[in-house]
Amino acid sequence: MPQILDGKLVRDAILAEMKPRVERLAAASRPPGLAVVLAGHDPGSEIYVRNKVKACAELGIYSEKLTPPETITTGELLELIAQLNARPEIDGILVQMPLPKQVDSRRVLLAIAPDKDVDGFHPFNVGNLVANSPGPRPCTPAGIMEMLRRYEIGVAGKRATIVGRSDIVGKPMALLLLHRHATVTICHSKTPDLAGECRRADILVAAMGRAAFVTRDFIRDGAVVIDVGINRVSDREQAARIVRGDVARLAEFDRKKSLVVGDVDALDVGGASAYTPVPGGVGPLTIAMLMVNTIQSAEQRIMGRTE
């Protein structure tokens, strides 16, 4: 049986290590400050933001949740970002996606001061990532690297394949693995013989957003499989095919009228040596690394420390 890589355990370890750093900052000057902007009423976004605010409270990080109306314009949101940029007690600014359709998301993200960009999405910070210079790293890929490190899964000299080329996960994941001396392949919807490419990987990262798409046909014996997918399945027949007789999971579907599954078919991982479950794998690490980025931003601002 493959080893299950428990994201909750890694998250708890990261947050336990962060708490004394928050306490030192609070004793020296003030606690770190995070502002989260949530425009509109997307249910998934509201859950994510609630979890981020909760994590701040547990660590002692000062947080503000700003909830402008769904009718907000690009100009009004840019003005709000400018105000947050100017506030010295705010170390991190996070604008929750998706934004309302009338808002120019790219202009908004570019307006965030690079030293307060705790998502690591600003082009300045993307450049730092490419150059392997200090700066905030995108939270999900950074969390995956922490998981690999803490489970003592070697990266140097390994073949790593990433399925998905998004700016949020796929591309930064490739760069972080490359900086750790992996040989990296990025695959996508136009890749010929996708399963064959994936079977070459010692580390396979699935981040394409297709429910239970990756099966044993994609997985080399002994490979470590990282499932980044968060897919909400609302069709009961599809859910039944994915869980294949798991009574508890079907009962969960009937209760919630949907089921969250990953990009990997968790019941068909073949000879994988380890994999991350969904939920409970990569997901918990994203918020943990957001806390890390916020604390590092505060340390740089208050104490002049960089890491």
Q: Is 52 a catalytic residue?
A: yes
Q: Tell me which of 52, 116, 158, 171 is the catalytic residue.
A: 52
**Residue 188 clears pLDDT 80, i.e. is over it:** yes
Give the range of the structural domain holding residue 221, as residue numbers without chain letter.
139-285
Structural domains counted in the chain:
2
8 A C-beta contact, residue 286 and residue 276? no
In the predicted structure, residue 42 carries a pLDDT above the cut 90: no
Under 8 Å between Cβ of 65 and 33: no
Do the domain assignments include residue 232? Answer: yes
Q: Do 165 and 275 belong to one domain?
A: yes
Query: pLDDT per residue over 105-150, tens digit each?
Result: 999 999 999 999 999 999 999 999 999 999 999 999 999 999 999 9
Q: Are 211 and 278 in the same domain?
A: yes
* Domain membership flag for residue 152: yes
- Annotated active-site residue 115? The verdict is no
Query: Among 144-148, 243-247, 281-285, where is mean pLDDT lowest?
Result: 243-247
On the 0-12 / 13-18 / 19+ scale of CB atoms within 10 A, 209 is: middle
- For residue 42, is it within any domain? yes
In a domain, 16, yes or no: no
Q: Tens of pLDDT along 58-104?
A: 999 999 999 999 999 999 999 999 999 999 999 999 999 889 999 99
Which among 91, 116, 117, 119 is annotated as catalytic? 119
> Which CATH number is 110's domain given?
3.40.50.10860
- Of the candidates 91, 96, 227, 263, the residue annotated as catalytic is 96
Per the structure block, which two tokens stand in for 45?
A: 């976004």
Query: Residue 267 sits in a domain of what CATH number?
Result: 3.40.50.720
| 111 and 148 belong to one structural domain | no
Sheet holding 92-95, edge to edge: 62-66, 33-37, 92-95
Q: Give yes or no for a contact between 229 and 252, defined as CB atoms under 8 angstroms apart.
A: no
**Domain end among 56, 80, 115:** 115
